[in-house]
Structure formats: structure tokens, C-alpha cells
Amino acid sequence: MNDMTEAVKLTAADFKSDYKPIWCPGCGDYTVLGSLTKALSIIGRPPHEVAVVSGIGCSSRIPAYTTCYGFHGVHGRALAAGTGLKAARPDLTVVVTGGDGDGYSIGGNHFMHACRRNLDLTYIVMDNHVYGMTKGQASPTTEPDWDNKLSPGGTGIRSFHPLVIALAAGANFVARAFSGDPNGTAEIVAQAIRHPGFSFVEILSPCVTFRPEQRGWKDLVHPAPVAETNDPARAARRIMTDDGFNIGVLYAGNRTPYARTPAASATLAQIEQEFAL
């Protein structure tokens, strides 16, 4: 979709706070911030009805750079905190953010179960194939032969494929975007937020400091050759031949989202009747 009508009342600027990001100049996360604020302005809910939950890492600094309610939690637990928030406050729009180390390594278990639980959340991972904030160790999406101090010569371990895991574990919306195309990314993120159930968007976001070679990503990414599908089997076949640089929505499904908590139906007195002799 190339034509977009801007939201009538809110602009991206309404969602950007006054705090200046400390990310290195050239970091892909700047444009992700732009895409997120743009997407939120498209959704149209005021900032105070949106919560941005994150873990630890460079990309997890993002909540304070928005005017939404933010929660900068501990390493790897953003999805758990976001799940709790959404379960208790289903009226809010909850966006969970973080990086590949935070999300797929220490957060891996929570990632799998958040997909499976299929609560109406949106999870955005800024993937730069490295642990940036701790100065350059391999993350689960790092190539096996990338030399670094903690694993000299590379880890030798096959890298993690988050879209496969998300689809298999039960996410209802699976997509990949690229920070080099902020408007395309904003569209995908807006679609993800609108889509019911657990929406997962992996955003390739180069790290200018520890992976300067990722500047070449803009020549590697390409639009996915096929349109999105709501058939998990078709999506699964497609994702197994994914080269890691297909951009677009892979899967927008109809899996039943986690049911919202029903309204109160009894009084305390009625409940306590159970004990009465």
C-alpha cells in the first residue's frame, strides 16, 4: 500500500518526547522510533492510552523517547511485563519493544510463550545481530562465523530464526521490516497493532558501531515476493526458505486471541456464601 491518509488529529511528533536519544549517530533505531511514532499516530489513540514496555539494551531505551506510558524493565522480561499489563488492563494499547539479545536470548522463553498465549499485544524487535550495549557479543541472530571477543572465531552455532519460532509457537501476525524504509515500517507496525492477537514485527536495524558492515543491508533487503497469507501452513512453507531479508507481512492469521477477562459477575458476599454453615 503506497497511499496513506494521515490521521486527522495526531501526528508522529505528538508521540515523540523531548528526551534526545543517546543512540550512536547512524543507528537504525532512530528511524524505528520515527516509524513507531508514525504508526501510533495512524492508530490514533492518544499517547496516554498507549504503553511501551521494554527490557535492557540499546533499543530498550525507546519508551522514554515517546510520550506514551513507558516501562523500562529488566533484561529479557519485557514480554512478561507487557503480558501482565495487557491482561490486567485490556483497554490499553500495549507495545513491547527490545533487541535481539534481550528478546531471543534471555527473553527466548517468554517469546515462545507470548506467541502461544496470543494476547493482543504487539512485539517489536530491533534486530542488529549483536549485543550492542555490552560492547559487541554474539546474539542468537548473529552469523555463526562472526568473530568477537567472547566467542573468538564466531560461535559456530546456527543462528536463531525468530519468524519461524513465532509462527510455530502461535503468533497471529508475523512480519519483517527494515529501518531503512521508515514509512514502509510504519505501515507494517500500524497493521500489526491493529491486528488482533499477538503481533510480531522483526525490524532489521543496523548497528553502526559494532556491525558497520550492516550498511550493506539496504542492498540485501527486498520486498517479499508474495502477499501475506492467513494460512499457517502456507506461511510455514514460505518461511523455511526465507533468506532473512524478505520484507513484508508473512502471516496475518485468524488464530483466536486470548480471551479478555470477563466483567464481574458476583459480589463478595455471594462468594463468601460458600463457607457459610
Partner 1 sequence: MNRPRKPGAPLAPRSLEDLMGQALTIEREAVARYEELADMMETHNNLEVAALFRKMAGYEQLHVEQILADMGWAADVVVPRHSGIWSSPESPEVVPIEEMHYLMHPWHALQLALSAEQRAEAFFAEMAGTAATEAVRAAAEEMRQEEAEHVALVREWLAKVPQPEGDWSVDPDPPRYID
Partner 2 sequence: MPPISPHPQPAARSFSLAIAGSGGAGVMTAGNLLLDAAARAGLYGLMVRTSGPQIRGGEAAALLRLGARPVATLDDHFDVLLAIDWQNLNRFGDEIPIGPGSLLIGDADAGEAPEVFVRQGAQLHALPLKKTAKAAGGGWVNMVALGLAGTVAGLPVAALEDALRASWKRSAEALASNLAALQQGVALALALPDPRPEPLVPVALPAGHARWLLSGNEAAGCGALRGGVRFVAAYPITPATELLEWMAPALTRMGGSLLQAEDELASVNMIIGASYGGVPSLTATAGPGLALMTEGIGLAVAAEVPIVVVDVMRGGPSTGIPAKSEQSDLSFAVDGLHGDAPRLVLAPNGIDDCLATAEWAVQLAEALQSPALLLSDQFMGQSRAVIDQPTQAAVPAQRLVAAADTPGYQRYADTPSGVSPMAIPGTPGIAYTADGLEHTERGIPSSQARDHVKQLDKRLRKLMLHDYGPRWADIEGEGELAVITFGSTTAAVREAVERAAAAGTRLRLVSIRLLAPLKPEVLDQALAGVRQVLVVEQNHGGQLLRYLRSRCDLPGRPAGLHRPGPLPLRPGDLARAFIDWAATHPRQPAATGVPA
Binding partner 1 by CB under 8 A: which of 48, 218, 234, 237?
Answer: 218
Q: Does residue 103 touch partner 2 according to CB under 8 A?
A: no
Task: Look at residue 175 and give its three-state secondary structure.
Answer: strand
For the record, the C-alpha cell of 239 comes out as 518461511
| Shortest Å, Cβ 207 to partner 1 | 10
Site string for partner 2, 120-149 (x = CB under 8 A): -----------xxxxx-xx-x--------x
For partner 2, the closer CB: 7 or 133: 133
Q: Does residue 144 touch partner 1 according to CB under 8 A?
A: no
- Whether 230 and 253 have beta carbons less than 8 Å apart is answered as yes
DSSP secondary structure letter of residue 185: H
* Sequence-distant (≥ 6) Cβ neighbours of residue 32 within 8 angstroms: 59, 62, 124, 126, 179, 182, 185, 203, 205
- Residues 35 and 190: their CA atoms lie apart, in Å, by 9
For partner 2, the closer CB: 31 or 191: 31
Size of the site for partner 1 (CB under 8 A): 41
Q: Does residue 210 touch partner 1 according to CB under 8 A?
A: yes
CA distances for 269 relative to 51, 106, 244, 266, angstroms = 35, 44, 57, 8
Q: Does residue 21 touch partner 1 according to CB under 8 A?
A: yes
Q: Does residue 140 touch partner 1 according to CB under 8 A?
A: no
Q: Does residue 206 touch partner 2 according to CB under 8 A?
A: no
| Shortest Å, Cβ 209 to partner 2 | 6
Binding partner 2 by CB under 8 A: which of 22, 266, 271, 277?
Answer: 22
Q: In what order do the strands lie in the sheet with 173-178?
A: 69-72, 50-54, 93-99, 122-127, 199-204, 173-178, 246-252, 222-223
Q: Does residue 236 touch partner 1 according to CB under 8 A?
A: no
For the record, the C-alpha cell of 96 comes out as 513491547
Q: Does residue 230 touch partner 2 according to CB under 8 A?
A: no
**DSSP, residue by residue, 65-128:** GBSSEEEE--TT-HHHHHHHHHHH-TTSEEEEEEEHIIIIIITHHHHHHHHHHT-S-EEEEEE-
- Residues 50 and 37: their CA atoms lie apart, in Å, by 11
For partner 1, the closer CB: 27 or 52: 27
Size of the site for partner 2 (CB under 8 A): 27
Residues 104-123 that bind partner 2 (CB under 8 A): 105-106, 108
Site for partner 2, rule CB under 8 A: 22-25, 56, 58, 72, 74-76, 105-106, 108, 131-135, 137-138, 140, 149-152, 155, 209
